[in-house]
Amino acid sequence: MPKLPRISGRQPAAALAKAGFTEVRRRGSHATFHNAASGAMVVVPVSPKDMRIGTLADALKQARLSPDDLARLL
């Protein structure tokens, strides 16, 4: 399992879209994504700054994705 990369907040949003998630709402700097197939809901801070590793790990856990899946989607 690879280590989580340091990526901006916009990159996970694009990766979630590739994984079948759709953006259902945006409030301030946070976007909420939903996957109809799995029922997963994910909240991601969308900003040009790098995400913290813990925040990224929690978003992946909510999305039911592994770091390998994220690397493939980026």
pTM of this prediction? 0.81
Gap between the Cα atoms of 73 and 66, Å rounded: 11
Q: Which domains does the chain have, with CATH numbers?
A: 10-73 (3.30.920.30)
Among 67, 69, 64, 55, smallest CA distance to 34 is for: 64
Gap between the Cα atoms of 60 and 49, Å rounded: 18
Return the pLDDT at 34: 94
Per-residue pLDDT in tens (0 to 9) along the chain, 74 residues:
568 888 887 888 889 999 999 999 999 889 999 998 888 899 998 888 888 888 889 989 999 988 888 888 88
